[in-house]
Amino acid sequence: MRSLASYMEVARQYLVQTSADFSPAASWDDRFEAYRTWCLALKMLAYGKLLVDCDEPAFHAHLLCAAVNWRELLTRARAEGHQVPASMNDPLLGAIASGRRDLALELAELSARELTEPEYEDEFLGAFFLQEYLRARAGRTDTADLERLCQDIDEYLDEPSPRTDTFRALARGDGPAFNDAFRTWNETVATTLSDPDAPGATFSFGITRHVWLEGLAVLRLASGAGLPLEPVPRPHLPELILQPPLATPAATPWLLGQTRLTEEDEM
């Protein structure tokens, strides 16, 4: 089994190679894949900084760097008439988890508001719920009905789920219901994340399975809404990051196409 440090090294190699190969004049598909690789490598490195180095500020800085780069991708997609699936929302989750609601709202405003192949309907609806929740909290008047989105997810899955129960409680501002639903959802997700050979697992799952990013983001949203959260252990949510950052974190200033990283750079 690979060590967590080895995943960090692979992430650094991805960053160096992607920055060297990137061309602003390349086709949309090539640029899109480059941004996906760049942001995934930043996420892997963020996890390594937390899990190997116990460096919480670097964890947030690398997640926010991915979010800033994803904002650039979404901006270019809109300008050029392309659509990025809303369910590719790890950068948005990272911005929320790191306490940068301003950046998360920007991503929510730029993200797709309709299903985009090849994403499944429940994948889209789950991501769309978080986008619309952010937009609703910011006072936008053209937001989707959050209760209806939860119902649509349940109907697609043919059954209620602890995820939609959690979303529904968040939308209603119901603290006790949120705690109950989140606890069940956390336990369900932890079962999957605990298996390094889970069906469909990607290479990066070897490190990203150790921190449940969506759960962390949803906890941040609940805390920001004033819901009283249970002081209980949470599987795959390290204690080091359960409290919001004491200061507003800044992103590492690495922008794809503008930053040429080398093996000698401190990452």
Q: Tokens 């959690």, residue?
A: 166
Nearest in space to 258 (alpha carbons), one of 5, 12, 23, 11: 23
* In the predicted structure, residue 180 carries a pLDDT above the cut 80: yes
Q: What is the DSSP letter of 83?
A: -
Question: Which tens digits make up the pLDDT trace of 235-258?
Answer: 999 999 998 888 888 999 999 999
Alpha carbon of residue 32 to chain centroid: 17
Position 117 scores a pLDDT of 87
How large is the angle between the packed helices 101-110 and 90-97, nearest 10 degrees? 160
* In the predicted structure, residue 1 carries a pLDDT above the cut 80: no
Q: What is the DSSP letter of 159?
A: S
Question: Which tens digits make up the pLDDT trace of 108-121?
Answer: 999 999 999 889 99
Q: Where are the domains of the chain?
A: 4-242
Position 256 scores a pLDDT of 97
Alpha carbon of residue 59 to chain centroid: 13
pTM exceeds cut of 0.85: yes
Q: Are 178 and 223 in contact (CB under 8 A)?
A: no
Position 263 scores a pLDDT of 86
DSSP 19-72: HHH--TTS-HHHHHHHHHHHHHHHHHHHHHHHHTT--HHHHHHHHHHHHHHHHH
Q: Are 257 and 18 in contact (CB under 8 A)?
A: no
Question: Which tens digits make up the pLDDT trace of 205-237?
Answer: 999 999 999 999 999 999 999 999 999 999 999
Nearest in space to 244 (alpha carbons), one of 70, 91, 62, 60: 60
Position 135 scores a pLDDT of 98
Question: Which tens digits make up the pLDDT trace of 35-89?
Answer: 999 999 999 999 999 999 999 999 999 999 999 999 999 999 999 999 999 999 9
Position 66 scores a pLDDT of 98
Mean pLDDT, all residues of the chain:
95
